[in-house]
A and B are shown apart, each in its own frame.
Chain A
Amino acid sequence: MDEEYDVIVLGTGLKECILSGLLSVDGLKVLHMDRNDYYGGESTSLNLIQLWKRFRGDDKPPPHLGASRDYNIDMNPKFIMANGNLVRVLIHTDVTKYLSFKAVDGSFVFNKGKVHKVPANDMEALKSPLMGLFEKRRARKFFIYVQNYNESDPKTHEGMDLTRVTTKELIAKYGLDDNTIDFIGHALALHSDDRYLAEPALDTVKRMKLYAESLARFQGGSPYIYPLYGLGELPQAFARLSAVYGGTYMLNKPECKVEFDEEGKVVGVTSEGETAKCKKVVCDPSYLPGKVRKVGRVARAIAIMSHPIPSTDDSHSVQIILPQKQLGRKSDMYLFCCSYTHNVAPKGKFIAFVSTEAETDQPAIELKPGIDLLGPVDEIFFDIYDRYEPVNEPTLDNCFVSTSYDATTHFESTVDDVLNMYTLITGKVIDLSVDLSAASAAEE
């Protein structure tokens, strides 16, 4: 340390690592530090010993669970939309060469007390009990409209301005019933509550198109992909990108203290008695608690199991969406499951997660509807954590604080935050539109 940098990044969460990578590629001199001795921050994947240390204190994991290092347990479970923003960033930066992925086996939705597959193709759609036959015809017309919709081609709009027409009004035109609306809004557009119904329909249509395009991308059973060895590989991959372009990495730096001048502008970061100077600081909320405000909480359960989640066709990787209305809650609840086939657990073990925006202080009780779907569990852990967003003015203090990860099922909001921060930091906009049109996948 004791040097001068353009940017010092604090915390090696996914957002911070993507930014570190992008800024280093731009030629900025970047120092990236983390108080932990591992990469990932709040978006890391822990081995078994780390998991036990975090949730069970000094206790030791039982030997029958297998080797600690065979576990890579995500602390921020999400899947990657195969046609989504994160894939675009991965391809844009060429970070994909450090990673391998698998298509997620299936996406399911909880409806009237049962788990149903979200159809991935025509045959599944015809057989699905989620809609009656006549409702399927009406839904099909709506899906064709969405498929054909092109924002820049008014002929596809059928006389409706989706920046003004609400989602409810749009769907009403196709005569769909409430159950179908719930399914479309939560299992396809992946909204986590019902506010979208009263908002302009464009966002929902775009989300549905993203779902359809992601489903088509790798012709899997779901619109998602997932990295081997868990999501913790993502921040590591982007950190490597930064290092390749000159970024300096220092893990295990306790108490990174941000220093300011008399005008309140950042001048550097001090750790272990040494100060590195910089023009800008980028960090997650935990490094500048005075510049963020609480905006919500996430409740989560993590379970180690010896079987797939029941009623998911023995899938090794699934998402189950429990729409809020089905549960009588304000927000949806999500189940994720991955297994030893993704190198996140030893042979025969599965890792499941239940997540939602917290509405109580008791995650074990609040998450029960999701936990009940898991079947027997070997071990289960509960967590509840605050979400923050920045309240500072970066033009005044040159501090750029990321927003906490939400409980959504994927990384779209994560990447949106990163891209916005990148523009604030550099004044530039990254064009990701061309990359994906040429993207495909091949088995190794």
Chain B
Amino acid sequence: MARTRNKSLQAKLVLLGDMGAGKTSLVLRFVKGEFSEYQESTIGAAFFTHVLSLNEATVKFDIWDTAGQERYHSLAPMYYRGAAAAIVVYDITSMDSFVRAKKWVREVQRQANSSLTMFLVANKADLEDERKVRYEEGEEYAKENGLSFLETSAKTAQNVNELFYEIAKRLVKANPSRQSGMKLHTRPGETRRGFLCCT
């Protein structure tokens, strides 16, 4: 019996949400298995690539973090270009964070392509004693707006891998079209050609 050919997918994934909600911590936990309690805005890294192997496909994520440009409402349109998935993050210990997450959801719906897969993620689930946003509130808002919902903790790694695997599965099912165009790469071995004449 012939084995089904493994599909390969490359997808841009963008993170959104207030500063301090834990966007970068989520990515670092997923990509590097790290968590830092006292992490300031990340310097020098806001773009990650990571490959996930599923049974039916391999998904390579290009993960974009905001690099702090959201702080003064200065995120560029290019951030949303060609994004196949978006994660909107809020902090369960902050009602303000949840309120602003709703604004980010509307911004994504305005800016990004309509076929994008969006997750609402309630982070810092390990801080149950300081919870200000009930699970049901987040879940209900997500349902009303056609989003998927998950509570996570970047600190304890709760649901972090599950989040990215779930996104990967949905993307494989949705099969988003690839963006055309070429990338400039660093690669040796350029062949040289003559200038409008034979040599």
Contacts and interface: CB of A to CB of B under 8 A. Distances in A.
Given A248-B71, A442-B185, A240 B78 contact: yes
A243 B77 CA distance: 15
A122 interface: yes
Interface of A: 38-39, 69, 87, 90-91, 96-103, 119, 121-122, 125, 140, 143-144, 146-147, 208-209, 212, 215-216, 218-219, 228-229, 232-233, 236-237, 239-240, 243-246, 248-252, 341, 435, 437-444
A251 B67 contact: no
A240 B67 contact: yes
Interface centre among B41, B68, B78, B194 (most CB of A within 10 A): B78
A231 to B, nearest CB: 12
A438 B186 contact: yes
Contacts of A119: 196
Contact of A97 (B47, B182, B195, B198): B47
Contact of B181 (A38, A101, A146): A101
A162 to B, nearest CB: 17
B182 A442 contact: yes
A391 to B, nearest CB: 31
List of 7 A-B pairs having minimum Cβ-Cβ separation, nearest first:
A100-B181, A212-B195, A249-B74, A243-B67, A236-B76, A440-B187, A96-B184
B72 A248 contact: yes
B43 A245 contact: yes
B108 to A, nearest CB: 13
Interface in B37-52: 41-47
A216 B199 CA distance: 14
28 contacts: A39-B77, A91-B184, A98-B47, A101-B182, A101-B184, A121-B196, A125-B196, A147-B194, A147-B199, A219-B193, A228-B180, A229-B78, A232-B77, A233-B78, A236-B76, A236-B77, A237-B78, A240-B79, A243-B69, A244-B47, A249-B69, A341-B180, A438-B188, A439-B184, A440-B186, A440-B189, A442-B183, A444-B183
A188 to B, nearest CB: 9
Contacts of B72: 248-251
B71 A215 contact: no
A444 B181 contact: yes
Nearest to B197: A140
B10 interface: yes
A122 B180 contact: no
A249 B72 CA distance: 7
B32 interface: no
B192 interface: yes
Interface in B149-166: none
A251 B74 contact: yes
